[in-house]
Each structure stands twice: as structure tokens, then as C-alpha cells.
């Protein structure tokens, strides 16, 4: 990663210096123009027009080629750096055990798309503009001072005022850009949340309320965006004012000096037409890098807001999922699982063990840590204190993938992909007929218009709550696991449907499958061989 970062920096520095060299070529081209027009006024017979024009266009072509090459290098470096950050975020979020400070799915999508793209103009425009504004104006100032201390004095006073006002305006721009980026993430989260519940919202007639929420959120984002634009227009107005005054004062001094009306400001010698034209050509170019820097100043403000959000995300303490998530062979047999002095997120859990073939119900009020125990058992989170062992070996990165290869997972809230029911069951793998039978899913498939090829939405369109639970149970059983972890499998189900789901779970356990269930359902708990009652005990963990 460090080598990649060095390569990016090297490319960005090369592109920035190429843009500087392209800008410096204009000084040579301006010298040719000044010599040509100045000599035409005094000794036109000395001007060889064709060679002069050829040299001028050659320099202009080199400048254009240099700028194009610089932009190509900077664009490639920006693409690579943004791709690197995207890969970093995807990898970290995939391995993370909890939701990040970036927000929900909508805010994360906004970061991966719109927000990271805000880095592109910063990498391609701001850094080269900052380097040009450091090198080119100083060189022009030195050339101007050689010909006229008066012109150099005008540039010296007008030039620094622009960065000073840019810095003052930039403080406000940074805050406004940060607020705007925050609103983008919040609006994306709101959109994803409302879309995921769109069917339910329509059923309860909540459309007007949802529309009002979106109107308020979008109006807030509009106000944030307009605040950034107001600051941008203010800073550009200040810049144009000072640059126009500077160029006008240089033009006045050069014009009156050439007319012989002014005899000061030229180091005791008369200003020649060549030098006068050259100074007139250099004056706008003195302010051009500062114009470019001002135009990219707000790119910097937006990029710094994104970089600050990324930095906060990198340093935020979050649990990491054990293992790599790669497909590996499972452990040779069901181990004895032990919880030993485990504490996590401030909750102290009792010591217990799970033997092969056990059916265990985790009981306790909400917040006691039932779902957390399931996540710890699956290696989706690492305990803050204590350890979980498999036949005496600690559950860690080396064992987690092989242990998870033995586990079937039935979450509390069913989630689906916008694919066929068959794909949602096996994710492309072959369907296990026993899993379909144990989950009592056959009658559901017979009812659907295209059977297991019926397209499901992310909310399981066409499935009732109980049918969705059966699909998640069949999904958990499809890989023929030796251990099944189920989180509230009968919650919010009617008695008949809950009994069907319980029967499916017991069919898995009957031939010796190990079953661990977090539940509030006393009927389900009574069917288990053991019950572990959790108390919401907090401690130093």
C-alpha cells in the first residue's frame, strides 16, 4: 500500500511540474510576440516574419502538448487514487462487524460515488494550480522588476491580496462544504430507507408524509449548496477586481511611458516598445495562476471535507469480522464450543459450553445480548475480553473461515437480492432438496407463479412474513451445515406459521444437528434441550 501511495504521489508531482513547464513556455512565446511587434514599430526591416511565426507556433504547440500530457498523467493518477480509496472502503466495510460512522447504505453509496468523485478536481486542478501560483508569478515578478520597478511594485501589491482574501473566504467555504457533504449522505440514507419500505408505506397511506420528508431534506441540501455557491461567487469577484486593477495600472504606466508622459519607474532608462509590449503580455499571465488557484479553491474545500470524513472513518474504533470470508473446507467435525469470561460492548456473558448435537435456547429481555452471542459464535465480531474456544483452540482468524463453513445462519430480518427465489436460496449453488423439505417450502413454491424462478425484490415481494422466514431457513440449511444459528426465527409470526418454522428447525436437529436459537418464544424454548437465560449484566468491558 505504501508503494502504491508513493507511485501516486510521484505521478501527481510529475503532472504538476509538467503544467508548470507548459505555463513557462508562454513566457518565451510572449517574448517573441513582444519582440515582433516592438521591432515592427521601430525597425520593421529587421523582422523575418515567417521564421518568427514558425517559432511562435512551435512553442504554442509544445505548450498545448505539455498541458495535455500533464492532464493525462493527473487524470490517470486521480483515477488510481480514487479506485484505491474505494477498494479500501469496500474491504473495510466488508470485514467490519458493525455499521461505520459513514452512515447507512445510502450514505455509504454517496461516499463511494459522489463524494469520492469530489477528490478528482482537487487532485487534477488544485495541486497543479498551487504549484503554478508559487513558481510562475515569482518568475514574472522578477522579469518585470528587471524592466520596471513600478510594474513590479504594482504586481507585488496586487498579487498577495488575492491569496489573503482567498484564505479568508476559504475558512467559510470549508465549513459550508462539510455541511453540504453531510446533507448528501443524510439524503441518500433517507432515500434508501424509504425505498426499502415503499410497499409498506403505500399500504398504510404514508405517501404524503414521505413526500414532505423528502421535500424538507432536499430543501436543506439546496440551501447548503447555495451557501457554497455564494462563497464561490464572492471569492471570484474579489479575485477579478484585484487582477483587473493590477492589469489596468500596468497598462496605464506602460502607455504613458511609451508616450513620454512618464519618466519614472524604469531604472533611469526609457522604456522600449519591446519591453512595454512584453510587460503588457506578462501582466495578465501574472494573475492567471492565481485565477486557476481561486477556481480550484472550492475543489479543495469539498475534497478536504471528504478527506476529513474518511480520516474520521479510518480512526473510528470498530470491531473486525474474523477471517477473510474466503470459501474453505469446514472443520472435520463439530467441536465443543466454550465461552470463557467473554465480555463485549460492556455486557458480561456467563460461561457456558455447546456440545455436538445440543439444542440451546438463548433467553433474556431485549438488550441482554442474545443476538450478540450469535454474532460472536459465528465469528462476525471479536469479544472485547475473554475468549471463545473450539475444542480448546481459540476462535480466531485462522479458524473462523473453517468454522463458519459449518454454520447455517438464519437472521431475524429476512433480506433478499433482486433475483430469483432459487438464487436467493443457493446464491448460484445447487439447491438441496432436503433443505427445501425441512423448511416446508414446497407448498410455497407451488403457489408462486414461476416456482423457484419467481423474481423477488429486496423486500421479498410476493412472500408473506412466514414464507419469507421459511425461505431464510431453507437458505441456512441449503449448504448442509452442522450448526444452525437462528435469531428470533418465530418473531411476529402467527401461531400456525410459527409452529411450521419450529418443526423445520427440529427436523434439522433430529439427526444430530447443533441448534442455537435466540428467542423470546416460550413454545420454541421448550422444544430445546437446554436454556441459557441471559441477564443484562454490564461491566468494565
Task: Give the pLDDT of residue 203.
Answer: 61
Q: Do you know the residue count of the chain?
A: 541
Instruction: Determine the Cα–Cα distance for residues 479 and 405; give it in Å rounded to an integer.
Output: 9
As a whole number, mean pLDDT of residues 140-166 equals 77
Q: For the chain, give the percent of residues with pLDDT over 90.
A: 11
Which one is predicted more confidently, 98 or 271? 271
pLDDT value at 530 more than 60: yes
**275 touches 94 (CB < 8 A):** no
Q: Which residues contact 388 (CB under 8 A, 6 or more apart)?
A: 337, 338, 339, 340, 342, 376, 377, 394, 395
Beta bridge partner(s), residue 518: 362, 487
pLDDT value at 353 more than 90: yes
| Mean pLDDT comparison of 160-164, 321-325, 401-405, 456-460, highest-scoring range | 401-405
Per-residue pLDDT band for 107 (boundaries 50, 70, 90) equals: low
Task: Give the pLDDT of residue 5.
Answer: 46
As a whole number, mean pLDDT of residues 167-184 equals 58
The grid cell for 79 is 483515477
Which one is predicted more confidently, 342 or 200? 342
Give the pLDDT confidence of 256-309 residue by residue, as tens digits: 888 777 777 777 677 778 888 888 888 888 888 877 777 777 677 778 778 887
Per-residue pLDDT band for 160 (boundaries 50, 70, 90) equals: low
Q: Which residues contact 25 (CB under 8 A, 6 or more apart)?
A: 59, 60, 62, 63, 66
- Report how far apart the first and last C-alpha atoms of the chain are (Å, whole number): 33
Per-residue pLDDT band for 486 (boundaries 50, 70, 90) equals: very high
Phi, psi of 171 (to 5 degrees): -60, -45
Give the pLDDT confidence of 420-467 residue by residue, as tens digits: 878 888 887 777 777 887 777 777 777 777 777 877 766 666 677 778
The grid cell for 290 is 492565481
pTM for the model:
0.59
Task: Give the pLDDT of residue 3.
Answer: 45
Which one is predicted more confidently, 373 or 470? 373
pLDDT value at 7 more than 60: no
Q: For the chain, give the percent of residues with pLDDT over 70.
A: 78
Least confident of 30-34, 70-74, 454-458: 454-458
Hey, what's the torsion of the CAs at 269, 271, 273, 276, to 10 degrees?
Answer: 150
The grid cell for 178 is 462539510
| Mean predicted lDDT score pLDDT of the chain | 78
Amino acid at each position: 500500500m505504501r508503494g502504491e501511495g508513493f507511485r501516486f504521489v510521484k505521478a501527481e508531482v510529475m503532472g504538476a511540474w509538467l503544467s508548470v513547464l507548459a505555463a513557462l513556455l508562454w513566457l518565451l512565446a510572449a517574448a517573441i510576440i513582444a519582440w515582433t511587434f516592438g521591432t515592427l514599430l521601430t525597425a520593421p526591416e529587421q523582422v523575418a516574419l515567417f521564421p518568427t511565426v514558425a517559432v511562435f507556433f512551435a512553442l504554442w504547440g509544445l505548450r498545448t502538448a505539455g498541458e495535455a500530457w500533464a492532464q493525462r498523467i493527473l487524470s490517470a493518477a486521480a483515477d488510481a487514487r480514487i479506485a484505491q480509496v474505494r477498494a479500501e472502503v469496500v474491504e473495510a466495510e466488508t470485514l467490519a462487524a458493525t455499521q461505520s460512522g459513514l452512515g447507512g447504505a445510502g450514505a455509504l453509496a454517496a461516499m463511494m460515488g459522489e463524494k469520492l468523485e469530489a477528490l478528482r478536481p482537487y487532485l487534477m486542478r488544485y495541486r497543479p494550480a498551487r504549484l503554478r501560483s508559487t513558481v510562475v508569478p515569482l518568475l514574472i515578478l522578477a522579469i518585470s522588476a528587471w524592466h520596471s520597478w513600478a510594474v513590479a511594485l504594482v504586481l507585488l501589491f496586487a498579487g498577495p491580496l488575492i491569496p489573503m482574501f482567498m484564505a479568508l473566504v476559504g475558512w467559510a467555504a470549508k465549513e459550508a462544504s462539510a455541511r453540504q457533504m453531510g446533507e448528501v449522505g443524510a439524503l441518500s440514507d433517507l432515500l434508501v430507507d424509504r425505498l426499502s419500505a415503499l410497499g409498506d408505506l403505500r399500504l398504510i397511506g404514508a405517501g404524503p408524509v414521505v413526500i414532505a420528508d423528502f421535500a424538507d431534506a432536499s430543501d436543506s441540501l439546496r440551501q447548503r449548496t447555495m451557501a457554497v455557491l455564494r462563497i464561490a461567487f464572492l471569492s471570484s469577484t474579489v479575485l477579478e477586481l484585484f487582477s483587473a486593477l493590477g492589469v489596468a495600472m500596468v497598462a496605464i504606466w506602460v502607455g504613458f511611458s511609451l508616450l513620454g508622459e512618464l519618466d519614472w519607474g524604469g531604472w533611469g532608462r526609457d522604456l522600449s516598445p519591446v519591453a512595454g509590449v512584453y510587460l503588457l503580455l506578462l501582466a495578465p499571465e501574472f494573475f492567471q495562476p492565481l485565477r486557476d488557484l481561486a477556481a480550484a479553491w472550492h475543489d479543495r474545500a469539498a475534497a478536504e471535507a471528504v478527506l476529513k470524513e474518511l480520516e474520521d472513518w479510518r480512526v473510528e474504533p470498530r470491531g473486525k469480522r474474523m477471517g477473510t470470508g474466503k470459501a474453505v473446507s469446514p472443520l472435520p467435525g463439530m467441536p465443543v464450543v466454550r465461552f470463557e469470561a467473554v465480555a463485549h460492548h460492556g455486557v458480561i456473558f456467563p460461561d457456558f459450553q455447546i456440545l455436538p448435537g445440543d439444542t440451546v435456547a438463548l433467553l433474556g429481555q431485549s438488550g441482554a445480548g442474545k443476538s450478540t452471542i450469535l454474532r460472536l459464535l459465528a465469528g462476525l465480531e471479536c469479544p472485547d475480553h475473554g475468549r471463545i474456544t473450539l475444542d480448546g483452540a481459540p476462535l480466531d482468524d485462522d479458524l473462523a473461515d473453517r468454522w463458519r463453513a459449518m454454520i447455517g445462519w438464519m437472521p431475524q430480518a429476512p433480506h433478499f437480492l433482486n433475483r430469483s427465489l432459487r438464487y436467493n436460496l443457493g446464491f448460484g449453488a445447487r439447491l438441496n432438496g432436503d433443505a427445501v423439505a425441512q423448511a416446508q417450502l414446497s407448498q410455497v413454491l407451488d403457489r408462486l407463479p414461476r416456482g423457484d424462478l419467481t423474481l423477488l425484490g429486496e423486500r421479498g415481494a410476493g412472500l408473506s412474513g412466514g414464507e419469507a422466514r421459511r425461505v431464510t431457513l431453507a437458505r441456512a440449511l441449503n449448504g448442509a451445515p452442522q450448526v444452525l444459528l437462528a435469531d428470533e426465527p418465530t418473531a411476529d409470526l402467527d401461531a400456525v406459521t410459527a409452529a411450521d418454522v419450529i418443526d423445520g428447525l427440529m427436523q434439522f436437529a433430529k439427526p444430530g444437528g447443533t441448534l442455537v436459537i435466540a428467542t423470546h418464544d416460550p413454545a420454541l424454548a421448550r422444544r430445546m434441550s437446554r436454556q441459557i437465560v441471559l441477564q443484562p449484566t454490564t461491566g468494565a468491558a
